[in-house]
Amino acid sequence: MSSKTNPFDQGYFQSDELTEFGFKHVGKNVKIAKNCTIVGLENISLGNNVRIDSNVIIAARSGFLKLGDYIHIGGNCFLGCSGGIGLSDFSGLSSGVRIYSGSDDYSGDYLTNPTISQEFLNVKISPVCLGRHVIVGSGSVILPGVTIGDGSAVGALSLVNKSCDAWGIYSGIPAQRRKDRSRRLLDMERQLHESER
């Protein structure tokens, strides 16, 4: 085995290193891939047992990002945090998910993009909240003002432009409730906490 460093394995920053970088809060057992792009560290709170994988972009120069405990954010996700984004305990994003808490007005009545003065824009800024045990499938897009209730799942390649009730499975463009989601995972959560005592 060669002693050379593998250039394809960038590795992860760990909690002890991350606390020195200027995050608002860093919990225990936090791992962030070294090739992520993150701005606005002072507006980002990370709970315990959080993993953020490769090439994730977090734009939190304004607004906030608050991650609970046991959170996974898969590779190549984008989180635009201008209106605020919250992920509650045990929620996760599969690879390539996009969450926008701020969005330009696409009607044509206003100019668009951040190089334009505010007086010519009509940006919708509204928080996005994911409840406990929410999972979002690969390539899905979540728009400003959306709340996804506890225990709901969003299928891959879905567009979530309206809030979703708890304990449902949603998919499509736009996402619609397809059926109920099992609550068995709540028993497994209790078992996990018991095993950690």
Ranges of each domain in the chain: 12-195
Whether residue 3 is predicted with pLDDT greater than 70 in this model: the reply is: no
State the pLDDT at residue 5. Answer: 79
The DSSP string of 141-171 is EE-TT-EE-TT-EE-TT-EE-S-B-TTEEEE
Q: What is the pLDDT of residues 74-118, one digit of tens each?
A: 999 999 999 999 999 999 999 999 999 999 999 999 999 989 999
pLDDT on residue 142 = 98
Q: What is the pLDDT confidence band of residue 126, given thresholds at 50, 70 and 90?
A: very high
Please give the pLDDT value at position 132. 98
Specify the amino acid at residue 173: I
Kindly tell me if the per-residue pLDDT of 171 is higher than 70: yes
Q: List, for residues 39-75, the tens digit of each pLDDT value.
A: 999 999 999 999 999 999 999 999 999 999 999 999 9
Q: Which CATH architecture has domain 12-195?
A: 3 Solenoid (2.160)
Averaged pLDDT score across all residues of the chain: 96
Q: Supply the pTM of this predicted model.
A: 0.94
- For 63-106, give the DSSP string: S-EEE-SSEEE-TT-EEE-TT-EEE-TT-EE-TT-EEESEE---
